[in-house]
Amino acid sequence: MSVLKYRFTPSLTFICLTLLLLAPINSVAEESETSNQLKTEIGWVDLGGEENRLRENHFGDRWDKRLNIQNILSSRSTMNAHVSFLLEPVSTHSREEDDVIIRRGYVRIVDNNLVLKVGRESLWWGPGRHGALILSNNAFPFDLVQLGSDKPFHLPGPLSGLGPFEATFFLTELEANRNVSRPRLSGLRIDYHPFNWLSIGFSRITIFGGGGRPSFDLSDFFTIYFSDPNQGGKFEVNELAGIDFRITLPVGGGSPGNRLEIYGEYGGEDEAGFRPSKPAILTGLEWTVNGQSLLIEYADNNINSDGPVWYRHGTYTSGYTYRGEVIGHHMGPDADDFFARVTTPLSRQWKVGIDFDRERHGLSTPTPEEFGRFGGDLVYLHTAKLTYAFRYQYERIKNLDRSENPIQQTPSSQTGRNHYGIVSLVMAF
């Protein structure tokens, strides 16, 4: 059993030292506030001929055959008006291993409208619910430094009339076990809110440097952002960029919580100056009225039949991955995904949900993998601080992909059938 795996990474060491230094401040500051949540999840999984399978959008977790148990403790604490932190240890038990890790943990420092976050955190950029083209929580959280605005702000002078903006920048280092070891990954996102019913986001990601690659300075970022992208040499980086929108409209008489959200994302893989090329799309809507909801979402990163371009690169051949999983949309390259879900309350304490997911992987191959999932869940709100959930899902996979590499496709003629039964308890205290 490995305990507190990855505990000696630089960012987590920084967290521990910072908390120790700031602890005396709490004795003279206003009373601190702490909230905790414990989630216990027990799953019984039948994977047929597979040993394990990715648990999409779940921090790089994988389902193992048969029994899977996970305990997640999330503790948030506000020390004063400027400093807060989160710590999230996770214990897992399965047929393969027992483990305890720090999945998320960071210090957050606010000064005026500037926020600095240092630690381990997962990022999700864009309006998608079931996936995101650029950044999602599909892979393990990053050890990062993040700097951005705490609240929306207005540009100075005559530009203030444009409306509020938000900005976020982060920098992290990917793992050593890659074709180019320990490359840097940086991201910049700007959110613009021209109207109270419309939000627009701009995202750009760059993988650069690493073992054997030239180093970068600040001026090099201006070169790759605004100059000829085909210079080669040190400027041979891996980039993804995109623009997204969200429109929120009142429905059902405008009662609180009743709304229709229409959203979309357009992204490009690599080099066409400031304009993305080799496009991908994600679009969807979510309708919510009186506790009932309908979600429909579709994503496609081979809309121009460019082949398996997304999440791949000629220099950084390990691709747009972290610790073996795609950082963006869980469907991977050369794929599309259709997802639909309906939820409705049965009473004040019971709610039921049903969903369907269809993915196709390796669209440019003669025999793409076709993945279909049907799932249903039942949630019981025992008290305001105690919730139980029960879920079953069935998967049928035609031309089962036997590759363990998420950016490669090796379809077979096999058919997989998987069953999942999951019981969870969430307690706040």
pLDDT of 276-314, one tens digit each? 668 999 999 999 999 999 999 999 999 887 778 899 998
Q: How confident is the model at residue 17 (pLDDT cuts 50, 70, 90)?
A: very low
pLDDT for res 2: 37
Of 95 and 158, more confident: 158
pLDDT at 105: 97
- Residue 28 structure tokens: 């003279």
Q: Is 116 domain-assigned?
A: yes
The residue range of the domain holding 312 is 112-257+303-328
Q: What is the pLDDT of residue 316?
A: 94
In this predicted structure, which of 95-104, 175-184, 218-227 has the lowest mean pLDDT?
218-227
Q: Is residue 139 part of a domain?
A: yes
Give Cα 209 to chain centroid, integer Å: 23
Domain presence at residue 309: yes
**Share of residues in the chain with pLDDT > 70 (%):** 89
CA 3 to chain centre: 25
The SS3 assignment for 18 reads: helix
**Residue 343: is its pLDDT beyond 50?**
yes
Does the pLDDT of residue 414 top 90, yes or no?
Answer: no
φ and ψ at residue 254, rounded to 5 degrees = 75, 15
Q: CA torsion angle for 204, 310, 227, 214 (degrees, to 10)?
A: 90
Count structural domains, the chain. 1
Q: Are 210 and 183 in contact (CB under 8 A)?
A: yes
Q: If pLDDT is split at 50, 70 and 90, which confidence band does 26 have?
A: very low
Residue that the structure tokens 């005559």 belong to: 158
pLDDT bin (cut points 50, 70, 90) of residue 272 is: very low
- For 85, which DSSP code? E
**Would you say residue 31 lies in a domain?**
no
pLDDT, position 6: 39
Specify if 427 maps to a domain: no
Q: What pLDDT is attached to residue 141?
A: 98
Residue 154 is part of a domain; what is its CATH number? 2.40.160.130
Name the nearest CA neighbour of 420 among 90, 64, 59, 71.
64
The secondary element (H helix, E strand) that includes residue 418 is strand 415-428
In the predicted model, is pLDDT for residue 8 greater than 60? no
pLDDT score of 5 more than 70: no
Instruction: Note whether residue 54 is domain-resident.
Output: no
Q: In this model, does residue 21 exceed pLDDT 50?
A: no
Strands (E), 290-331: 292-300, 321-322, 325-326
183 falls within a domain: yes
Q: Is the pLDDT of residue 363 over 60?
A: yes
Range in 80-94, 146-160, 206-220 the model is least confident about:
206-220
Residue 32: band (very low, low, confident or very high) from pLDDT cuts 50, 70, 90:
confident
Q: Specify if 204 maps to a domain.
A: yes
Reported as a single tens digit per residue, the pLDDT across 102-131 is 999 999 999 999 999 999 999 999 999 999
Split at pLDDT 50, 70, 90, the class of 28 is very low
Average pLDDT, the chain: 89
Mean pLDDT of 138-150: 98
pLDDT, mean of residues 342-350: 97
- In angstroms, the CA 343 to CA 249 distance is 20
Helices assigned H by DSSP within 5-78: 10-28
Percent of the chain at pLDDT > 90 equals 73
Q: Is the pLDDT of residue 215 over 90?
A: no
| CB-based burial label for 110 (10 Å; 0-12, 13-18, 19+) | middle
Residue type, 128: G
